[in-house]
Amino acid sequence: MTHFADMIDGYRRFRNGGWQEQRERWEGLAEGQAPKVMVIACSDSRVEPSQIFDTNPGEIFVVRNVAALVPPFETTPGRHGVSAALEFAVQFLKVEEIVVMGHGLCGGCHAALHRTMAGAEPGRGGFIADWIALLDDARDAVRAEHGDIDSGEAGRAMEMAAVRVSLANLRTFPCIQEKEARGTLKLRGAFFAISDGVLHVLDDATGRFGPA
């Protein structure tokens, strides 16, 4: 099990290895960043976008949260962390693509499907419950379609539905609507299956996921 002391050892290996080997890249990154792709992924420790996509520092702008969710556009007071990151990526970094990447065995999607956090108080699951309430409509549809919600098929259906929910919510942002209409921004859905390591990509034409 990795603890912070182990991470410091890892940092020293990086500092003496990878950082030195990519010194020119890091010198360029010290001047700024210009990623072309934003990835919205889950916080799950098993799903690391830079590892899955084999990218270098500076190549992807990543936001991670429970279940890789994007809330709809809203102007109510609050601390809109995902929306702020999205705004920065689209309006200031001018990314050309946004990838929403869900994954298999997602705890957030499981909690949404089974309503395991329903009624919990903040600090005891309530924050999670409020967040995954973004999936309420999708959950109802999955439960209606799958009689056995404990099945692997129902779980995967919920996980893939969550990607579609986030993509739909992305399209409620005026800046995304404008750029997508102009053809300067592309939205993509993806799903990484932890069990077999296969990445599935959403086909816009069919609305279905298929292996990349």
83 and 141 together in one domain = yes
pLDDT at position 174 is 97
pLDDT at position 99 is 98
How many domains would you assign to the chain? Answer: 2
53 and 93 together in one domain = yes
Rounded percentage of the chain residues whose pLDDT exceeds 90: 96
pTM of the predicted structure, to 2 decimals: 0.96
Whether 1 shows a pLDDT value over 90: the answer reads no
27 and 46 together in one domain = no
Residue range of the domain that includes 26: 1-32
Sequential DSSP letters for the chain: ---HHHHHHHHHHHHHTHHHHTHHHHHHHTT----SEEEEEE--TT--HHHHTTPPTTSEEEEEEGGG--PPP--SSS--HHHHHHHIIIIIS--SEEEEEEETT-HHHHHHHHTTTTTPPTTTTHHHHHHHGGGHHHHHHHHHH-S-TTSHHHHHHHHHHHHHHHHHHHTTSHHHHHHHHHTS-EEEEEEEETTTTEEEEE-TTT--EEE-
pLDDT at position 64 is 98
What average pLDDT does this structure show over 180-204?
A: 97
96 and 158 together in one domain = yes
123 and 64 together in one domain = yes
pLDDT at position 37 is 98
pLDDT at position 75 is 94
